[in-house]
């Protein structure tokens, strides 16, 4: 079975006509994993027996005329989202043997829709990173160039979709962790509005920033997945009561709409890589034909990185306090309780996680709370207000996803500040809680993917998807990673 051009929508059509079965499709995806995952290392966990059992159950439901909206579609899941009775490690030694006791709400909804789960994907430990090099187990490689990073922290999910090792995936986005790897791997990734998708069953990093979202080969597949996982959940107090979501039909009905598109001058500076600049200029030329473009200002953008790296580590420090060697997870051999805490955490957490815990604990400590965390919270409000003011003049905002194309493995891992700057264009959206999608908009001369972001007002996820769908059609790119071309 040729998976290269097989989208979720096309697969559902073939399944409904009986031209393929879910078992056929699942076996084809498992074969892809066997062929390519030893090289790219996108997966932390694959359960072939479980996947095939799900596929056979799906085929039976279809035969009995009980098919559901996503019946028989194989997916992968980032390893910080709980699936009952299966491992959830967050790519950390401290959770190396942890088996989830319940399903995340998004998993419940995908199960109800008939999806098939192939396994769990690699990530930066506890979602802290921009390259998937901070996994405690192994780094993941970019399928366009095995010497480069796939982005992070949801690098495994982006690679799995790029190589068609499953037709879609879920990731989480705290400061760009869906959009940045989507851009680096040539796929579509969506960070929904904060509160649109339940976080119940997502292992917390920074609770006011974390958001689960989908990866797809194209915008339509991304909309299909978002439609299933979005919606109110009483188990998540930050979930918003949004009803009657129909992202898929909205795409077609509004793809010809004309929008007012803002171009933030703070995002289009001399610091942008020339090839990223050229790709964005091509997008701007396309958008000019149908939309009204306007330069806008988001003046507090320059404070976003500093603000994020106070708020996110502070919340991480609080959330990760539960990993103490007592309740669950890794436990070091010790003589007393204090030694147990110290050794379990120092041996169980990696360098980047420990760095952020220490940053966050310092920012929250007595005498420093007002100077750091409180001030950062106020600047976060200013960043949010920048977007609110901009959306009085425009409907949507276009921006680069990343300042550069994918960088090389090891290039930034020893320089945290340079690594943090990789997320300079993605972090403001999380601080403001807005919907944002990254889609491929071109290739560099070395055939590396380049992504662009479309940002919308809160809960205008449908507008973001519709505009991305329209731009995707105009660009009409056919992207196939070099590893697939070389081994076809």
Contacts of 468 (CB under 8 A, 6+ apart): 188, 219, 437, 439, 454
CATH of the domain at 212: 3.90.1300.10
Strands of the sheet containing 168-172, edge to edge, are 43-46, 116-121, 74-78, 168-172, 212-216, 188-191, 436-443, 449-455, 396-400, 260-264, 292-296
pLDDT at 244 over 80: no
Q: What is the pLDDT of residue 232?
A: 96
Residue 302 within any structural domain of the chain: no
- Residue 238: phi, psi to the nearest 5? -95, 0
Q: What is the pLDDT of residue 243?
A: 80
Cα(430)–Cα(424) distance, integer angstroms? 11
Tell me which residue has tokens 């990673």: 481
Q: What is the pLDDT of residue 163?
A: 98
Residue 362 within any structural domain of the chain: no
Residue 276 within any structural domain of the chain: no
**Residue 486's pLDDT band (boundaries 50, 70, 90)?**
confident
pLDDT at 487 over 80: no
Give the 3-state secondary structure of 34-63: HHHHHHHCCEEEECHHHHHHHHHHHHHHHH
Cα(423)–Cα(419) distance, integer angstroms? 8
pTM attached to this predicted model? 0.97
Residue 380 within any structural domain of the chain: no
Partner residues linked to 262 by β-bridges:
294, 397
Is residue 449 a contact partner of residue 436, using CB atoms and an 8 Å limit?
no
> Chain-centre distance of CA 62, in angstroms?
31
- Overall average pLDDT of the 463-488 stretch: 91
DSSP designation for 153: S
Residue 204 within any structural domain of the chain: yes
153 is catalytic: yes
Listed residue (212, 259, 195, 216) closest to 81, CA to CA: 212
Cα(190)–Cα(216) distance, integer angstroms? 9
- Residue 240: phi, psi to the nearest 5? -100, 145
**Residue of 131, 135, 177, 422 marked catalytic:** 177
Residues above pLDDT 90, as percent of the chain: 94
Cα(390)–Cα(455) distance, integer angstroms? 11
**Residue of 78, 141, 191, 412 marked catalytic:** 78
Average pLDDT, the chain: 96
Paired tokens of 14: 């073939």
- Overall average pLDDT of the 443-454 stretch: 97
Residue 139 within any structural domain of the chain: yes
Q: What is the pLDDT of residue 2?
A: 87
pLDDT tens-place string over residues 5-34: 999 999 999 999 999 999 999 999 999 999
Is residue 171 a contact partner of residue 183, using CB atoms and an 8 Å limit?
no
pLDDT tens-place string over residues 210-220: 999 999 999 99
Is residue 117 a contact partner of residue 75, using CB atoms and an 8 Å limit?
yes
pLDDT tens-place string over residues 269-300: 878 999 999 999 999 999 999 999 999 999 99
Burial 88-119 (b: 16+ CB within 10 A, else e): bbbbbbbbeebebeebbbbbbbbbebbbbbbb
Angle 29-31-32 from CA coordinates, rounded to 5°: 65
Contacts of 456 (CB under 8 A, 6+ apart): 395, 396, 397, 434, 435, 436, 463, 464, 467
Q: Which domain holds residue 212?
A: 8-259+436-486
* Residue 13: C-alpha distances to residues 7, 16, 77, 426 (Å): 10, 5, 23, 35
Angle 22-23-27 from CA coordinates, rounded to 5°: 115
**Residue of 76, 153, 317, 470 marked catalytic:** 153
Q: What is the pLDDT of residue 213?
A: 98
Cα(244)–Cα(247) distance, integer angstroms? 9
Tell me which residue has tokens 């955490």: 345
Q: How many structural domains comprise the chain?
A: 1
Q: What is the pLDDT of residue 488?
A: 52
Is residue 484 a contact partner of residue 163, using CB atoms and an 8 Å limit?
yes
Helix intervals (H) in 128-273: 155-162, 179-185, 219-229, 247-254
Q: What is the pLDDT of residue 327?
A: 84
Q: What is the pLDDT of residue 117?
A: 98
pLDDT tens-place string over residues 29-55: 999 999 999 999 999 999 999 999 999
Residue 28 within any structural domain of the chain: yes
| Residue 50: count of CB within 10 angstroms of its CB | 16
pLDDT tens-place string over residues 451-473: 999 999 999 999 999 999 999 99
Largest CA distance in the chain: 71
Residue 417 within any structural domain of the chain: no
> Chain-centre distance of CA 472, in angstroms?
19
Q: What is the pLDDT of residue 295?
A: 97
Paired tokens of 426: 């993605």
Cα(92)–Cα(89) distance, integer angstroms? 6
Residues above pLDDT 70, as percent of the chain: 100
Strand bridging mode 260-264 / 292-296: parallel
- Overall average pLDDT of the 395-420 stretch: 95
pLDDT at 367 over 60: yes
């Amino acid at each position: 079975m040729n998976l290269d051009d097989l989208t979720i929508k096309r697969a559902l059509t073939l399944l409904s006509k009986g031209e393929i079965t879910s078992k056929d499709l699942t076996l084809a995806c498992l074969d892809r994993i066997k062929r390519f995952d030893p090289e790219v290392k996108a997966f932390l966990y694959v359960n072939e027996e479980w996947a095939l059992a799900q596929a056979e159950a799906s085929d039976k439901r279809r035969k009995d005329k009980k098919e559901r909206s996503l019946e028989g579609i194989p997916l992968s899941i980032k390893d910080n989202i709980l699936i009952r009775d299966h491992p959830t490690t967050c790519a950390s030694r401290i959770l190396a043997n942890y088996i989830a006791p319940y399903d995340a709400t998004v998993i419940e909804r995908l199960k109800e829709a008939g999806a098939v789960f192939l396994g769990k994907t690699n990530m930066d430990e506890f979602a802290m990173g921009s390259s998937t090099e901070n996994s405690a187990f192994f780094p993941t490689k970019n399928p366009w160039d095995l010497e480069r990073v796939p982005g992070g922290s949801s690098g495994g999910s982006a690679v799995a979709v790029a190589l068609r090792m499953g037709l879609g995936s879920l990731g989480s986005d705290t400061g760009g962790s869906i959009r940045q790897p989507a851009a680096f791997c040539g796929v579509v990734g969506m960070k929904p509005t904060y509160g649109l998708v339940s976080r119940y069953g997502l292992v917390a990093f920074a609770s006011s920033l974390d958001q689960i979202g989908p990866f797809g080969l194209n915008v339509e597949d991304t909309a299909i997945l978002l439609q299933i996982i979005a919606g109110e959940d009483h188990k998540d107090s930050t979930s918003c009561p949004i009803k009657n979501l129909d992202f898929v039909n909205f795409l077609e009905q509004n793809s010809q709409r004309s929008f007012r598109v803002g171009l933030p001058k703070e995002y289009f500076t001399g610091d942008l890589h020339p090839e990223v600049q050229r790709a964005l200029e091509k997008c701007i030329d396309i958008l000019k034909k149908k939309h009204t473009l306007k330069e806008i200002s988001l003046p507090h953008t320059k404070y976003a990185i500093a603000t994020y790296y106070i708020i996110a580590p502070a919340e991480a420090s609080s959330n990760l306090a539960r990993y103490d060697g007592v309740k669950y997870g890794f436990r070091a051999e010790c003589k007393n309780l204090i030694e147990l805490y110290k050794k379990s955490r120092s041996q169980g957490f990696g360098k980047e996680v420990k760095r952020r815990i220490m940053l966050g604990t310092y920012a929250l400590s007595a005498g420093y709370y007002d100077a750091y965390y409180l001030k950062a919270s106020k600047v976060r409000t200013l960043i949010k207000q920048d977007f609110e003011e901009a959306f009085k003049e425009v409907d949507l905002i276009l921006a680069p996803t990343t300042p550069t194309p994918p960088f090389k493995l090891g290039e930034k891992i020893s320089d945290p500040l340079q690594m943090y700057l990789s997320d300079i264009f993605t972090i403001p959206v999380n601080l403001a809680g807005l919907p944002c999608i990254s889609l491929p908009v071109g290739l560099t001369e070395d055939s590396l993917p380049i992504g662009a972001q479309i940002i919308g007002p809160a809960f205008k996820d449908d507008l973001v998807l519709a505009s991305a769908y329209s731009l995707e059609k105009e660009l009409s790119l056919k992207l196939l990673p070099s590893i697939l071309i070389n081994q076809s």
